[in-house]
A and B are shown apart, each in its own frame.
Chain A
Amino acid sequence: MNQFKKNKFAIFGLVVLGLFIFLAVFANVISPYNPESIVESETQPPSLKHWFGTDEIGRDILSRVFYGSRISLTVGFVAVVIAIIIGIVFGALSGYFGGFLDTVLMRFVDVMLAFPSIFLILTIQIMLSPNIYNVMIVIGLTSWMGVARLVRGEFLTQKERQYVEAAHAIGASNLRIIFRHILPNAIAPIVVAATLGMAGAILTESALSFLGLGVQPPTPSWGNMLMDAQAYMRDAPWIAIFPGLFILLSVLSLYFVGEGLRQVFNPKE
């Protein structure tokens, strides 16, 4: 933990993340305006009344960015949880049992990786209706492969350790050994992967919403706010700057925290 504290970037990341989570949780309390209602007759630059200005149809950008953080963080978090669960199941079974099962599962991972996932996501989103739940599920279903490989590698080394043999010797079943004995020993790299994965998921959600296939207006998400801002980049850049800044900061913070955790868990590097 001291090592984490020494890492200024990680601390910065943690503070920013904490702030964003606070904004997301209390968006309804701290937002000065309703994010979906038109409060001015036109777009306005940042002012005391509207700190981040108003958008092309006169909605308060500050409030929209706050509510957007709720959407973006939730989507990122749920997508990562889905990816981690699938990745753990695939990786653990593969690494622990090895042999034919390992070959089959890992070939499936290769196939999934061979698809450019953004096309996969776009295709699925076009076929399904693009709503927030589908966004979470689709991102989760297309981003678990890295976790699976990581967990597999971790299980390959862990299963040779003597505590596993000792667990067999007290009568633990394979499933019990996988989930109760080995998995807790593999948590550290999984947490790192989850942190970095959440950054990726937030970016994917933004990209999807930017393309109109993600969170649907009028619900604000950072991505669809950017899409709306496109046409006004020259005359009203603040419409794009603030959601863009929040995407950047959140992704950067997650990377910093992830790297900080990685250093804590692997002090050798």
Chain B
Amino acid sequence: MLLEVKNLKTHFYQEGLPVKAVDGISFGVGAGEVLGIVGESGSGKSTVGLSLLRLIDLPGKIVEGAINFEGIDLMQLPEKAMRNIRGAKISMIFQNPFTSLNPVFTVGDQIAETLRFHQGLSRRRSRDKTIEMLKMVHIKNPESRINSYPHQFSGGMQQRVMIAMALACNPKLLIADEPTTALDVTVQWEIIKLLRELKDNLDVSIILITHDFSVVAELCDKVAVMHNGKIVEDGNLNQVVQRPKDPYTQKLISTVPRIE
């Protein structure tokens, strides 16, 4: 197992009372595997993703659990070592690519910066690698597009840029939090197609966070269904989709118009 999470609990404290956003979940992701985490809004999916990178800020706190990644418990790492994991070994992309990109830097600068500070690449080498990454996510004319600002890209292109940045340092794990939700329907499927292609070509595991079972069906090997901070059902894609045991899972699947 590349990643093994045991009994993870992340709570947010409001007026003393804990909101148990993640309430004791365990799961694993193998090398090259795609795990879908599905659930309604507020079920705690994003909190899982952020917890894995230890990016939970006050009023939230990871109160319990172990996050074993490549044999190391991330919970025991000092913050500085954790920073070397983020973006280099585990990357994360978010729902809205436009707000995730820094508006005042060109996309080329943003990708190159990641390469420079994680891998210490020179200006020229990081530029070459940036162009290579943009090619990989199928952005046309990358040599000139590196000089464009985020607002000069469409939503789908922005998400491609985010994916390129996330994968620039060859991470072992990509956490994609609702990567298609903010996009137009046709663009959504292009991004899913891209993720599938990257999964096949690269040595990267993916945790795909979504509320949409049809996205899961397109991409995932395994599924975990979350409800109120707990995993109510998990297993292989076919098993969960075709013979859901939990009533909550059945409800989620029945709301999806059609799964091919």
Residues of A within 8 A of B (CB): 161-163, 165-173, 176, 180-181, 184-185, 187
Contacts and interface: CB of A to CB of B under 8 A. Distances in A.
B94 A171 contact: no
B165 A162 contact: no
11 contacts: A162-B99, A162-B100, A165-B55, A166-B94, A168-B53, A169-B91, A170-B86, A170-B166, A171-B83, A171-B84, A171-B88
A174 B165 CA distance: 19
A180 to B, nearest CB: 7
A211 B88 CA distance: 60
Given A162-B96, A180-B113, A169 B86 contact: yes
A170 B55 contact: no
A187 B87 CA distance: 27
B184 to A, nearest CB: 20
Contacts of B88: 171
Interface in B132-176: 162, 165-166
A156 to B, nearest CB: 14
Interface in B43-58: 53, 55
B105 interface: yes
Contacts of B114: 170-171
Contact of B102 (A167, A168, A187): A167
A169 B102 contact: no
B185 interface: no
B66 interface: no
B170 to A, nearest CB: 13
A174 to B, nearest CB: 10
Contacts of A180: 113
Given A176-B117, A184-B105, A171 B100 contact: no
B256 interface: no
Given A170-B165, A176-B117, A163 B102 contact: yes
A187 B102 CA distance: 14
B101 interface: yes
Interface string B11-51: 00000000000000000000000000000000000000000
Contacts of A172: 83, 87, 117
Contacts of A184: 102, 104-105
Contacts of B94: 162, 165-166, 169
B118 A169 contact: no
Nearest 6 interchain pairs by C-beta: A170-B87, A171-B86, A162-B99, A171-B87, A166-B100, A169-B92
B120 interface: no
A165 B55 CA distance: 8
* B-side interface size class: 20 to 34
Contacts of B100: 162-163, 165-166
B53 A169 contact: yes
B85 interface: yes
B108 to A, nearest CB: 15
Nearest to A164: B102
Interface string B76-111: 000000011111100110101001111111000000
B51 to A, nearest CB: 12
Contacts of A165: 55, 94, 100
Given A162-B99, A163-B100, A166-B94, 11 more contacts: A162-B96, A166-B101, A166-B102, A167-B102, A168-B53, A171-B83, A171-B84, A171-B85, A172-B83, A185-B102, A187-B104
Nearest to A162: B99
A170 B114 CA distance: 7
A163 B100 CA distance: 4
A267 to B, nearest CB: 15
A173 B101 contact: no
Nearest to A161: B99
A167 B111 CA distance: 11
A173 B80 CA distance: 8
A170 B110 CA distance: 11
Nearest to B177: A169
Nearest to A98: B58
B210 to A, nearest CB: 18
Nearest to B58: A99
Nearest to A166: B100
Interface string B117-131: 110000000000000
Contacts of B91: 169-170
Nearest to B80: A173
Nearest to A186: B104
B104 A169 contact: no
Contact of B83 (A161, A173, A185): A173
Contact of B103 (A163, A167, A168, A176): A163
